[in-house]
Structure 1
Amino acid sequence: MLKKFRPYLFMLLFSCTTIAQSSYYFENKEIKPGTKEHFLIPVSTENNATLIPITVFNGIKNGKTLGITAGVHGYELSPIMAAQKLITSIDPAKLSGVVILVQIANLESFLGRSPYVSPVDGKNLGRTFPGSKDGTNTEKIADYITQNIIAKADYFLDMHSGDAPEDLIQYGAYYSNAAMPEISKTGREMAIALGFDRVVVFNTDGKKYMHKNELSLYCTAEAFKRGIPSIDIECGRLGIMEESAVKKNEQSVIRLLEHLNFLSLKSQKNKTKEPLIISDRIYTESKFDGIFYPEKKAGEYVKKGMKLGCVTNYFGEVLQTVYAEDDGLLMLIISTPAINKGESLTVIGKI
């Protein structure tokens, strides 16, 4: 009788050994299968100190590792608050693999309500990767994320939204390079799985930051350079916390987890229609310090030569009239008055 069931016993034992998850260790702390742990990582220099809040989910089954960052820009509130929701909406008892979620990468920017840069050292974390272990506060944060999250990931996601002055459309994005076709293809599939109506291609062919000895600058660019399929979310606008954007961010991460088989596919909800792909973007910069008066909103389709706004001096005299440089979708437009020379006023996506 035992002989009769031997093949089935072997199959059962083989199945168990292939799906059983082991403990995961982060910061020398054991995270048992089917559980999660919270960490407050100290980062300090001679002049200041901060923390990085991180949640690590260890699934009940063996699998890959997904790294996620939120709050690289601390005034981009929708993804930060979505990360708070993901603490409970990602159930490690139903998870395969490991998810490392950086809740707020730039805590000083968040607490200081500081758009773009940290109030501690004036640096933009989103332009600082891979960072430096001997650098400033922001450079040390970038180094920690590079060495302890990106370097451990099989897939990577960076969550953003429109910062304080930015009226911005919602989209997913992925990094692409002709020399990395399979990694680029996986990134494209991940970006589409997020469920946004638009997907932007970050084409890195010929980009200086892709060279081995150059700084990556961007968080996801650092991951992509390391051969990791890398995507971004942009969901939210003007540095405000809109519940609809928070929910969309949260749902997009869950969809990604289902797509990558970290979670089982729940229902028909995860079926996605083919999004609009945006491969080229046109940036228009301000030529002056002054006051910007926008005449359009993000999400509008514009025609070449259409007036988008103007920059004046502090006495109302027009210094620069901004026109659409081509037909396309207005992805971003600055919607608060202050403007500095060299800042992007508009971004048009070519369809």
Structure 2
Amino acid sequence: MKTLHLSVFLFISFFSIMTAQANVKPFLFVGEKIKAGTKKSVLLPVVSGQDSTVIPITVFHGSKKGPVLGITAGVHGLEYAPIMAAQALPKHLDPTQMSGTVLLVHLANVPAFLQRSLMVNPVDGKNLNRVFPGKSDGTLTEKIAFVISTEVIARCDNFIDVHAGDANNDLRPYAGYYNYFDMPEVSEKARQMAVSLGFDFIVQFGNEKSLTEESIYCSREATKRNIPAVDIECGRMGIVEEKSVLQIQQALLSLMRHLQILEGEPASVRNPVMIAKRTSVSSKYEGFFYSDLTSGDYVKKDMKLGYITDLFGNHLADVICPTDGVILYKTFNPPIKQGDGLFNIGHTN
């Protein structure tokens, strides 16, 4: 009798899954029809004049209806923690158990990744996270931004862009979201998404009446399209640390639970620190930069943060803190040019 009951249960479960999948239309992505409960990986070609590259994207189309979430990693090719987290994420996603669709951009900037290029695409020397929404007839970097904007971001109900500290950058992990006063619904949805990521620090970008300028940044392109968008900053110094990779991975899965793409409860952090304003400290000189401070350190206005010497080691200037706050990220190695950023400080008052 128990065997019969089990057989009936399995049959009903299978029938229910097949019925649910039949009610979900295929997801059309760059000409590919992806059936409910399946996934598809594509190499999306990007061509600009004589230059070309690809964007590796996996589409996970759930067996049940739900929102479309876009994820980008590797906008900067030396930010390895997000890239490695994106490589591992598919192991945790089963489309037959998902509600909705996930568009995972494994690596947005393949040329920068393969050439180990700091911040910019070596093909045209442009920073991908400074050219959104891109141009259909632009250089290769501008064309990558255009393709991501039109083929990925425009298809989404929610969006997240994942970054880390680059090869010259010591960074404290945090989540971020855009807050514009004339977009209260989108801003609030983004805030809730940011909280669901499970970080104890959350940075508010914007905090202005409205977004009137070009999007420039990947996640702000989503915001400009009235799509709730968040950022992750996790990882440091352009290195792969298991702790950071796992933290990003768990944050993305938690976000999917918040959006009810996956079953279960999202992460919960009681009273995360909200950073509404940041101040950058830049170098006025070229030479060597020295500082014993690290990301996450709390600092006070007028305290000495470090100093700069010329190419002979002669002292040029002390670096003085402009505000009370916490160091979100800083340059940690010696080479420095005039205008280079030294510190980014989140205000704590």
TM over 0.5, yes or no? yes
Report the residue type matching 1:110 in the other structure: F
Q: 1:125 matched to which residue of 2? A: 128
Alpha-carbon separation, structure 2, partners of 1:264 and 1:131: 36
Residue 233 of structure 2 corresponds to: 234
* Residue aligning to 1:215: 214
Q: State the TM-score, normalized to the length of structure 2.
A: 0.92
Aligned partner of 1:305 in structure 2 is: 302
> 1:287 is aligned with what amino acid?
K
- 1:250-297 C-alpha deviation (Å, 9 max, x unpaired): 00000000001011115xx73332211111111111112221112200
Letter in 2 for 1:339: I
SS at match of 1:308: strand
Structure 1 consecutive aligned stretches of length 4 or more whose deviation exceeds 4 Å: 16-19
Partner of 1:7: none
Match of 2:70 among 49, 67, 71: 67
Which residue does the alignment assign to 1:256? Answer: 255
2:37 partner letter:
G
Deviations 1:152-192 (A, max 9, x none): 11101000000110101000001000001111011001001
Indicate the residue corresponding to 1:329 in structure 2.
326
Structure 1 residues 28-177: aligned runs within 5 Å = 28-177=31-180
Partner of 1:79: helix, strand, or coil? Answer: helix
Flag structure 2 segments of 5+ consecutive residues without an equivalent.
1-15
Contact 1:173 1:233 in 2 (8 A): yes
Query: Could you tell me how far 1:206 is from its partner in structure 2?
Result: 5.4
Q: Secondary structure at the match of 1:149?
A: helix
Question: Identity of paired residues, percent?
Answer: 46
State the alpha-carbon separation in 2 of the partners of residues 97 and 320 from structure 1: 55
Query: Which residue of structure 1 aligns with residue 273 of structure 2?
Result: 276
| Structure 1 counterpart SS, 2:208 | coil
Q: What is the SS of the residue equivalent to 1:66?
A: strand
Task: State the distance in 1 between where 2:110 and 2:54 align.
Answer: 7
- 3-state SS of the aligned residue for 1:310? strand
Counterpart-to-counterpart distance in 1, 2:219 and 2:294: 28
Asked if the contact 2:182/2:209 (under 8 Å) is kept, the reply is no
Q: Report matched runs for 1:195-206 at 5 Å.
A: 195-205=198-208
In 2: Cα distance, 1:273 partner to 1:55 partner: 34
Deviation sequence 1:211-249 (CA, Å, 0-9, x none): 2xx421101111101111110000000111111100000
Aligned residues: 332
**Aligned mates of 2:145, 2:77 — CA distance in 1:** 14
Aligned to 1:184: 187
User: Retained in 1: the 8 A contact 2:73–2:105?
Assistant: yes
- Decide whether aligned partners of structure 1 residues 116 and 206 sit closer, same or farther in structure 2, where only a CA change above 3 A counts: farther
Paired residues for 1:3-22 under 5 Å? 20-22=23-25
Distance, in Å, in 1 between the alignment partners of 2:170 and 2:299 is: 15
**Counterpart residue type for residue 301 of structure 1:** Y
CA distance in 1, matches of 2:178, 2:200: 18
Q: How many angstroms does 1:310 deviate by?
A: 1.2
In 2, Cα distance between equivalents of 1:81 and 1:43: 22
* Alpha carbons of structure 1 residues 121 and 298: separation in structure 2 relative to 1, 3 Å: same
Shift of 1:147: 0.4
Amino acid at match of 1:248: Q
Q: Distance in 1 between matches of 2:125 and 2:292?
A: 31
Matched AA of 1:183: V
Q: Secondary structure at the match of 2:223?
A: helix
Matched residue type, 2:247: K
Given the alignment, which residue of 301, 315, 318 partners 2:315?
318
Q: Measure, in 1, the Cα distance between the counterparts of 2:206 and 2:94.
A: 34
Q: Distance in 2 between matches of 1:272 and 1:322?
A: 34
Residue by residue over 1:127-156, the C-alpha shift from the partner in whole angstroms, topping out at 9 and shown as x without a partner, is: 010000111110000000000111111101
In the alignment, is the contact (CA less than 8 A) between 2:21 and 2:63 conserved in 1? Answer: no
Contact 1:235 / 1:249 at 8 angstroms: preserved in 2? Answer: yes
Structure-2 separation of matches of 1:47 and 1:312: 43
User: Alpha carbon RMSD of aligned pairs, Å?
Assistant: 1.8
Which of 283, 286, 292 is the equivalent residue of 1:286? 283
Q: Distance in 2 between matches of 1:262 and 1:238?
A: 32
User: What secondary structure sits across from 1:270 in the alignment?
Assistant: coil
CA contact (8 A) 2:327 2:343 kept: yes
Contact map agreement 2:22 2:36 (CA 8 A) in 1: no
Could you say which residue in structure 2 is the equivalent of 1:245?
244
